[in-house]
A = this chain, B = another copy of it.
Amino acid sequence: MKKVNIGILGLGTIGSGLYRLIMKNRELIRNKSGIDINIKKASDLNPEKKDELNIDDGVFTTSSDDVVMDDEIDIVVELIGGTAVARDLVKKAIERKKHIVTANKALLARFKNEIFPMLVENRVELGCEASVGGGIPIIRTLKEALVGDSIYKIVGILNGTTNFILTKMVKEGIDFESALRTAQEMGFAEADPTLDISGGDAKHKITILASLAFNTDVDMDRVYTEGIESIEPKDIRFSMEFGFVLKLLAIAEKKDSGIMVRVHPALISSSSPLAAVNWEDNAIMVYSEFLGKSMYYGKGAGAKPTSSAVVANIVDIALKIKSNYEYNSKAYSFFNNLHQLDFNESEARYYFRFNALDRPGILSKISGILGKNNISIASVIQKESEEEGEYVPLVMLTHRALEANVKKAFEEIVNLKEVKGDNKFIRVIDE
């Protein structure tokens, strides 16, 4: 039996969940792995956590330095979140040769090129499974299961809040605000949901996945990101007539010309396995040369699923460091230096909805503008007018087209005198 001493930074939702999991399953983990996880220190600014979790004297502390500076601690588990305090603490821990397990997606997405070289320099391991997809073993899959394979695309539903909201909108036909309110009432959305609904959280996560899958340092600030705030029930309804379901997708693609990483609402075929991923669940579809299309599905957030991933990382690292292993620096090197393509260079099919005058000639005018921009129409549905007046929704689906061309054409069309009010385009992702 090999004992590993861990120190936990932060006893919020995930930290408390981790504490409880280890208290409950310590023996199970010993039996399964031969590793005995000993919580040497656990810190939180809130002193009430000690009694709440029934933590022994000498283990609980309100000082994170007590954790990071403890010479007997092998692994520091950072569950504070954010990039202010956590960044300094993680760096301090690495400098003191402590191995790191973290669920902090913002920290990794933003500061990976600061942290990864420090890992190698200090010969320190990093476990970050919990940073993407909660308890879904996606990072293990990319790094280990697909080590012999060439990954060329990832399509993920990486944010539970937005997936819950969109599922609610799809199933009940309600609008974004009502769905968001329900999500907040049920605890699936924060009081300030901005980071989730804007796509920012998914951006952090796809940045991490793309960096690990393509072994290149993806620049998060160049990841095109569009949220779900402006999704309307009518677009969900109309797109269903084409056999589509609307999801917020995080996509990373490797092409000959470079990589393209982006987050935006997208329509997918209702027969796709991703279309069955509903409510707060997450899923990641991975495309690789040999394995082909594979998908990983589960709970993308929450104390229990996330703790499960954290423990797996602790055991992984403990098995290495308690077995006289030799450090393998390859795991944290970005040996590729791939060009990051601009979103305007992306291609997709497109769903358009124009609010257009119900008059002969308008379709020909619109399709003329599309054609001029190399966009050809695959099908058109002219809807009955929903409101008073002569303007009706004109819904169309295109063949594959270039994002830059679509934006140009869309701009020109919405400026036609026969088109007014709210118009929309949504990308269609064929997977």
Binding site for B on A (CB under 8 A): 21-22, 25, 28-29, 31-34, 129, 135-137, 140-141, 143-150, 215, 271-273, 275-277, 283, 288-299, 304-305, 307-309, 311-312, 314-316, 319-320, 322-326, 328-331, 335
Select one of B143, B271, B293, B297 contacting A299, CB under 8 A: B293
Q: Which partner residue on chain B sits nearest A295 by CB separation?
A: B297
A421 smallest CB distance to B (angstroms): 36
Chain B proximity of A337: nearest CB distance (Å): 12
Contacts of A312 in B (CB 8 A): 144-148
Q: Contact partner of A137 among B129, B141, B272, CB < 8 A? A: B141
Q: Is the CB of A29 within 8 A of B325?
A: no
Can you list 18 A-B contacts with CB-CB less than 8 angstroms, sorted by A residue number? A31-B335, A32-B330, A33-B331, A135-B292, A135-B294, A137-B144, A140-B141, A145-B309, A148-B307, A148-B311, A289-B304, A290-B307, A292-B305, A294-B297, A295-B296, A295-B297, A320-B325, A324-B326
Q: Which residues of B contact A307 (CB under 8 A)?
A: 148, 290
Assess whether A32 is in contact with B276, with CB atoms less than 8 Å apart: no
> Copy number in this complex?
2
Considering only CB atoms, which chain B residue lies closest to A285 in the complex? B297
Distance between Cα atoms of A144 and B127 in the complex (Å)? 13
Partner of A147, one of B32, B275, B297, B329: B32
Cβ-closest 4 pairs across A and B: A148-B311, A294-B298, A137-B145, A323-B326
Q: Complex: how many Å from CA A424 to CA B308?
A: 42
User: Residue of B at shortest CB range from A322?
Assistant: B326
CA distance A286 to B412 in the complex (A): 51
For A297, what are the chain B residues with a Cβ–Cβ distance below 8 Å?
273, 294-297
Residue of B nearest to A325 (CB): B323
Most buried by B among A33, A283, A290: A290
- Chain B residues with CB under 8 Å of A294's CB are 135-136, 296-299
Residues on B with beta carbons closer than 8 Å to the beta carbon of A305: 290-292
CB distance from A334 to the nearest CB of B (A): 11
Q: Which residues of B have CB within 8 Å of A328?
A: 33-34, 319, 323
Contact B304 A290 (CB under 8 A): yes
Q: A34-B328, A272-B276 are in contact. Are A308 and B28 (CB under 8 A)?
A: no
Which single member of B283, B292, B319 contacts A298 (CB below 8 Å)? B292
Q: How far is the CB of A167 from chain B (nearest CB, A)?
A: 11
Do B295 and A291 touch (CB < 8 A)?
A: no
List chain B residues, Cβ under 8 A from A331: 33
Listed residue (A316, A326, A329) with the most chain B CB atoms within 10 angstroms of its CB? A326
Residue from A32, A297, A324 whose CB has the most chain B CB atoms within 10 Å: A32
- Rounded to whole Å, the gap between the CB of A158 and the closest CB of chain B is 15
Determine the chain B residues whose CB is within 8 A of the CB of A314 once the complex forms: 148
Q: Given A294-B299, A295-B298, does the pair A28, B276 have CB atoms closer than 8 Å?
A: no
Say yes or no: A148 contacts B290, CB within 8 Å: no
Among B135, B137, B273, the residue within 8 A (CB) of A290 is B135
With A28-B150, A294-B299, A323-B328 known, 17 other A-B pairs at CB within 8 A are A21-B290, A28-B148, A29-B147, A137-B137, A140-B145, A144-B316, A146-B312, A147-B315, A148-B311, A149-B311, A288-B308, A289-B304, A290-B305, A290-B307, A291-B309, A295-B298, A324-B324
Query: Given contacts A135-B291, A136-B294, A305-B291, are A148 and B277 in contact (CB under 8 A)?
Result: no
* Whole-angstrom distance between the Cβ of A430 and the nearest chain B Cβ: 16
Across the interface, which residues of B come within 8 angstroms of A276, CB to CB? 271-273, 275-276
Question: What is the CA–CA distance of A289 and B31 in the complex, to the nearest angstrom?
Answer: 17
Cα distance A289–B21 in the bound complex, in angstroms: 10
Within 8 Å CB of A143, what residues of B?
32
Could you say which residues of chain B place their CB within 8 Å of the CB of A288? 308
Which chain B positions have C-beta within 8 A of A32? 143, 147, 215, 330
